[in-house]
Structure 1
Amino acid sequence: MTHQTIVIRDAQPSDTDAVREVLENAYAEYEQLLSRERWEAYKENIANSLIDANVKAHLLAEAEGTLLGSVFLYHSSDAAYGLPELNIHAPIMRLLAVTRQARGQGIATALIAETIERSRTWGADTLYLHTSDVMQSAVQLYERLGFERADDKDIHKGDSVVKSYRLSLVEADRTIGGKR
């Protein structure tokens, strides 16, 4: 699948089954790393994202008609998580997923670049995301692209912490080759 032209586009209702497959493929590696109850809750969260009316944009990456990646954008912490108390009134990127077979081809970076552009068109100057330490390759990508820890926006679930990261969309020009 190398050297293919990657197209980033908005998801359509007819994409739901293919997106579910991408998400299941991308996140299956974490099943063994999470407790059974956390994994089941995570799978339910993923399934619910496919029908979530609070999604502001759902972007897909495809090549030659094959869906390779997906990302969801929300306009606030209330819309993304039902947590208005996080007080995030800026776009939040969730469930960035690239199939295991298509990793290493810049697909995640292309999806993130498009989330940055969308966020800018909405007038935002910051983009947020939440992740956990178990997703080390994702954390490394986010940090390489200029996302910085925003521990004041972490989500605490019992004894676990879902870590928050933020990206200044002005700074993103330098780290991701922004179009401004």
Structure 2
Amino acid sequence: MNTSKYIVRKAREDEFEKVGELMVQVYSQLEGFPKQTEQPEYYKMLANIGEITTKPYTDLLIAVSQENNIAGAVVYFDDMSSYGSGGTATQEKNASGFRLLAVDPDERGKGIGKLLIHDCIDRAKNNGQKQVIIHSTDFMKIAWKMYEKIGFKRSEDLDFMQGNLQVYGFRLKL
């Protein structure tokens, strides 16, 4: 697993469309995850992911190869007030979070997801935050093992329902 040929940086405006396409591709392929016809607004948000950067304290981060190919992306929130989830997460203080982690299917198994997560954790530490908060669903259980290996713990107080979809909270104390 050699991630040294990838760097994490903020996505440029001219990359937003490509990142949106990646997000739609990844989330639409999750087994059992609601399809575009079932959650059209969610997929519209994914396709237009660059718009999320207009929120305060919010960055769209990408992992790019030396050839500048986008291998993965994640949305980082340095302040939970911009996080935009249900439940109580947006009221958490001294906390950062990330959402919408997506890795190109052709790049899986190379540590791209971990690279993006560790970049978010480093950003939170550098900004003096005390914790990092994330959410996941049953359809993303494959990522749960990775989150837990990194040190995230389930936090039931952060759970919420998004329509008919159960969303589970995780917390990493820094």
TM, length-normalised to structure 1: 0.82
Distance between the aligned counterparts of 1:142 and 1:85, measured in 2?
Answer: 20
- Runs of 5+ consecutive residues of structure 2 not aligned to the other structure: none
Asked whether 1:42 is paired with 2:42, we answer yes
AA in 2 matched with 1:81: G
Q: Which residue of 2 aligns with 1:70?
A: 73
Deviations 1:124-170 (A, max 9, x none): 0210111101112112211121111111011223443211101122x
Q: Which residue of 1 aligns with 2:16?
A: 16
User: Which of 124, 129, 132 is the matching residue for 1:124?
Assistant: 129
Question: In the TM superposition, what is the alpha-carbon distance from 1:84 to its structure 2 partner?
Answer: 8.1
CA contact (8 A) 1:31 1:39 kept: no
Q: Which residue of 2 aligns with 1:80?
A: 83
CA contact (8 A) 2:86 2:160 kept: no
**Compared CA separation, residues 156 and 105, structure 1 to 2 (3 A):** same
**Compared CA separation, residues 81 and 67, structure 1 to 2 (3 A):** same
AA in 2 matched with 1:88: E
CA contact (8 A) 2:20 2:48 kept: no
Question: In the TM superposition, what is the alpha-carbon distance from 1:45 to its structure 2 partner?
Answer: 3.1
User: Which of 96, 101, 104 is the matching residue for 1:99?
Assistant: 104
Q: Which residue of 2 aligns with 1:26?
A: 26
Q: Which residue of 2 aligns with 1:61?
A: 63
Question: In the TM superposition, what is the alpha-carbon distance from 1:91 to its structure 2 partner?
Answer: 0.8
Q: Paired residues, what number?
A: 168
- Runs of 5+ consecutive residues of structure 1 not aligned to the other structure: 170-180
Question: In the TM superposition, what is the alpha-carbon distance from 1:85 to its structure 2 partner?
Answer: 4.4
Distance between the aligned counterparts of 2:88 and 2:147, measured in 1?
Answer: 24
Q: Which residue of 1 aligns with 2:119?
A: 114
**Compared CA separation, residues 46 and 31, structure 1 to 2 (3 A):** farther
Deviations 1:50-72 (A, max 9, x none): 20222522211011221110111
Question: In the TM superposition, what is the alpha-carbon distance from 1:24 to its structure 2 partner?
Answer: 2.1
AA in 1 matched with 2:8: I
TM, length-normalised to structure 2: 0.84
C-alpha root-mean-square deviation of aligned residues, in Å? 2.3
Deviations 1:92-121 (A, max 9, x none): 101111011100000010111110111111
